[in-house]
Amino acid sequence: PPDVELLGRSSWTFIHSLCAKYPTQPSNEDKEQISSFFKMLGRMYPCDWCAKDFTKYLQENKLDNSSNEGLNMWLCGAHNAVNKKIGKKEFDCQLWKKRWKDGWD
């Protein structure tokens, strides 16, 4: 893709915002659909080497679709794995809710 950085920044914004709204007590359908969404990303994310590594991450780190908190902590770990791989600072996962849901104080 022409701009992996812009694609990434925009994608993370969408993905974190989507997951921030995941239910506290998800239904079986919620669980299936969020799992499919991430599986789809691993297949179709429009940066081929990103998608390939993301699929590997999914295989090695089971998605937590059991709750809002669980999903967002899992997602933070997945994003941090990319940060680490490309030499960016890791994000403090305790802050996910401020960054993506409630806003800073």
Note the residues at the interface with ligand FAD (CB under 6 A): 4-5, 8-9, 11-12, 16, 41, 45, 49-50, 53-54, 76, 79-80, 82-83, 86, 88, 91, 96, 99
Q: What is the distance between the alpha carbons of residues 68 and 83, in angstroms, rounded to a whole number?
A: 22
Beta carbon nearer to ligand FAD, 22 or 96? 96
**Least distance (Å) between residue 24 CB and ligand FAD:** 19
Whichever of 22 and 54 has its CB closer to ligand FAD, that residue is 54
Rank residues 31 and 80 by Cβ distance to ligand FAD and give the closer one. 80
